[in-house]
């Protein structure tokens, strides 16, 4: 039986890396996309090939650029002939706190392209391939309460892109349901820095999270693993928060010194 192929954007580090490890363990052959993390991608591919015997290719490309998305898909198809699962993990983010008027046009367009338009660029190329096989799994990434179109101070571009992506994800789910393709959004909670690549058993106590521990990359990868399973076809158009019960946006608004 032919192995399924998963494309993971931004898959060399962080949550993408943890998802790659999870899917490799489950027997997927992987296409790991990265923008700048060449060294990390190569090390990850070697590690997973040795550990699980997975077939892995690493593809450089910026998903915010349409031509790169086309090239990424063409490369995967030439190597594996199909793309069965796509994890839209990559998404640019400006860490500096900026009000809407402080964004440059280039910054704004790059964030919108990388978080919203990239899914259109890749879906336009990949969905017809999935239709041929009458099977596919599409996972996008959002943030807590994204489906309610909340405001997010100093994150206007990112919030706007992800809110649009939530609607797009649900639209894809409806349009492609008859083709055996599901589309769901996973919304990680406050999982920061090195915790994105940690296992659940490594999580330490955190009084700020209702469940009492730090969130980890494995918390997210396990949900993704469930959603891409053969038997998860009844779950589509869902927006799933994985937060440990923490009100992430509430934390933002409770912080003092919001005005500059």
Residue with tokens 């571009």: 157
Q: pLDDT tens across 9-34, in order?
A: 999 999 999 999 999 999 999 999 99
pTM: 0.94
According to DSSP, residue 259 is labeled -
The pLDDT of residue 29: 96
pLDDT of residue 255 exceeding 70, the answer is no
The sign of the torsion formed by the CA atoms of 20, 23, 25, 27 equals: negative
d(CA 71, CA 68): 5
Q: For 221-226, what is the mean pLDDT?
A: 98
Taking phi first (over 0 means left), then psi (-120 to 50 degrees means alpha), and beta for anything else, what does residue 2 get?
beta
CA angle 214, 41, 45 (to 5 degrees): 95
DSSP track, 164-178: HHHHHHHHHHHHHGG
**Structural domains in the chain, sorted by start:** 5-254 (3.40.50.720)
Which whole number is the average pLDDT over 146-153? 93
């Amino acid at each position: 039986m032919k192995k399924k192929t998963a494309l993971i954007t931004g898959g060399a580090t962080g949550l993408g890396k943890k998802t790659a490890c999870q899917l490799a363990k489950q027997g997927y052959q992987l296409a790991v996309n990265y923008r700048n993390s060449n060294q990390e991608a190569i090390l990850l591919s070697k590690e997973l090939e040795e550990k699980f015997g997975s077939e892995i290719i690493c593809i450089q490309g910026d998903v915010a650029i349409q031509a790169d998305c086309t090239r990424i898909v063409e490369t995967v198809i030439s190597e594996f002939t199909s793309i069965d699962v796509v994890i839209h993990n990559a998404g640019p983010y400006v860490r500096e706190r900026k009000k809407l008027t402080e964004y440059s046009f280039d910054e704004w367009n790059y964030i919108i392209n990388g978080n919203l338009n990239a899914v259109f660029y890749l879906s336009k190329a990949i969905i017809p391939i999935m239709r041929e096989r009458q099977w596919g799994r599409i996972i996008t990434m959002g943030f807590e309460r994204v489906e309610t179109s909340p405001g997010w101070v100093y994150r206007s571009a990112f919030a706007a892109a992800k809110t649009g992506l939530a609607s797009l994800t649900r639209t894809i789910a409806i349009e492609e349901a008859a083709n055996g393709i599901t589309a769901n959004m996973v919304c990680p909670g406050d999982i920061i820095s090195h915790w994105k690549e940690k296992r659940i058993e490594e999580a330490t106590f955190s009084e700020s999270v209702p469940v009492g521990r730090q969130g980890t990359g494995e918390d997210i990868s396990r949900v993704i693993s469930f959603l891409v399973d053969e038997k998860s076809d009844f779950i589509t158009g869902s927006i799933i928060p994985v937060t440990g019960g923490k009100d992430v946006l509430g934390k933002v608004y409770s912080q003092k010194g919001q005005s500059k």
